Amino acid sequence: MGAYILRRLLLMVPTIFGIMAISFAVIQFAPGGPVERVIADLTGQGGDATDRITGGSGDFGGQEDLGSSVESSSSSSEYRGAQGLDPEFIAELERQFGFDKPPLQRFGLMIWNYIRFDFGESYFRDIAVIDLILEKMPVSISLGIWITLISYGISIPLGIRKAVKDGSTFDVWTSGAIIVAYAIPGFLFAILLIVLFAGGSFFDWFPLRGLTSDNWSQLSWPARIVDYFWHLTLPLTAMVLSAFATSTLLTKNSFLDEIRKQYVITARAKGLNERQVLYGHVFRNAMLIIIAGFPGAFISAFFTGSLLIETIFSLDGLGLLGFNSVVGRDYPVVFATLYIFSLIGLLVGLLSDLMYTWIDPRIDFERRDV
């Protein structure tokens, strides 16, 4: 097993390198960029991006009026909307963002920094990227952990019950309900919950935004816990609607497959009742694929399942951070989150494999059939 773990760890290096290289290459050909964003603010009404680069002073490089610095050569600028701006100012912008270096040099410098977990600072926010990610992480961790626990808490007993009652009225009706729940988009259900229970048109029982109340720090610990779950109730309800469908059917099919095997017939022939057979013999074998997939399910909910929910309920988490960073061309945040998420995803994949061997020692990833 040690050799297998080492091999997997070594394979992570070219995998992450390939992910970052492809993403970096795509960015090079994508229209727009941080320089063009600043230019758009300058030639329009201005904004936070300009203030971040210029230090909030309204000028750059000692120029008192950027709009008045017009050079004849600026019309040939590679940036859209740069006409009328001093080429020296454009060059200084490129230097600030690091675009004065060749792409390969920029990519190599980025990889070297990321190996040392040095992610730099956000282009348009006066904060280190790692601090920004840590600031947004509590929301995404809360959603990821609780949606995974709730979905597993529903799907495992429901899947076992459906397997035991296979073909019955209960099985048919619950399958229909699961399919309907899976087909309903989570964001539409979230809007419905807001209309019904968050002061939309009917009841005003739950808060509409944030993970905690403004006075959370002043509350007692029991009150803090209640306040925390009070804010999470609607987002989790919207996300859990379809989260347990796949794992429920997977649990049912896994139990059905085990129930039909010879060792179950032997256990029944020995006089064991159905509960002893089900939980004493079938459960461990049937739950192998379900339990081993728990880390992957958490990572999936943590990274991909919360963008629209975070937006609708004004939860400032990693999903919303990543989306805003892509739209705003904040490349340090984009690449840092991509690097961290890819690394965690690969480590969780290895952890899932190790859980297989822990649950069932008969599994050996090092053994090869000749």
E strand spans, the chain: none
Q: Radius of gyration (Cα) for the chain, nearest Å?
A: 27
Q: 32 by DSSP, 3-state: which?
A: coil
The pLDDT of residue 346: 86
The pLDDT of residue 79: 62
d(C-alpha 160, C-alpha 157), whole Å? 5
d(C-alpha 240, C-alpha 182), whole Å? 10
The pLDDT of residue 56: 42
Q: Is the dihedral of CA 149, 209, 319, 331 positive or negative?
A: negative
CB 216 within 8 A of CB 224: yes
Give the residue carrying structure tokens 């899947």: 159
Structure tokens at 217: 């720090």
The pLDDT of residue 64: 40
Structure tokens at 366: 């090092």
Q: Outline which parts of the chain fall under CATH 1.10.3720.10.
A: 130-359
Q: Which long-range contacts (CB under 8 A, 24 or more apart) does 183-189 make?
A: 183/242, 184/241, 184/242, 186/238, 186/239, 186/241, 186/242, 186/305, 186/308, 186/309, 187/238, 187/308, 187/309, 187/312, 189/237, 189/238, 189/241
Strand partners, 121: 128
Q: Which of 128, 155, 142, 35 is nearest to 90 (CA)?
A: 35
Structure tokens at 13: 């290096």
In single-letter form, the type of residue at position 195 comes to V
Q: Quick check: pTM over 0.85? A: no
Please report, for the chain, how many H helices and E strands are present, in that order. Answer: 18, 0
In single-letter form, the type of residue at position 210 comes to G
Residues in the chain: 370
Per-residue DSSP letters for 34-57?
HHHHHHHHHHTT--HHHHHHHTTS
The pLDDT of residue 69: 40
In single-letter form, the type of residue at position 129 comes to V
The pLDDT of residue 142: 82
What DSSP state is assigned to residue 297?
H
The pLDDT of residue 268: 83
Which helix (H) or strand (E) is 183 found in, with range?
helix 169-183
For domain 130-359, give the CATH number: 1.10.3720.10
What share of residues in the chain are helix, strand, coil (percent, to 5)? 70, 0, 25
- CB-CB neighbours of 2 under 10 Å: 7
The pLDDT of residue 18: 92
Structure tokens at 49: 């991006």
d(C-alpha 61, C-alpha 297), whole Å? 50
Q: 367 by DSSP, 3-state: which?
A: coil
What DSSP state is assigned to residue 121?
B
The pLDDT of residue 111: 92
Alpha helices in 270-330 (DSSP H): 274-277, 283-286, 288-292, 294-304, 307-312, 318-327
Q: 313 by DSSP, 3-state: which?
A: coil
The pLDDT of residue 57: 38
What DSSP state is assigned to residue 278?
I
Q: Which of 133, 151, 187 is nearest to 290 (CA)?
A: 151
pLDDT averages per 10-residue partition of the chain, 370 residues:
83 91 85 73 55 42 40 47 66 75 88 90 85 86 84 88 89 90 84 84 81 83 89 87 81 87 85 82 78 71 69 81 83 88 84 74 60
What DSSP state is assigned to residue 219?
S
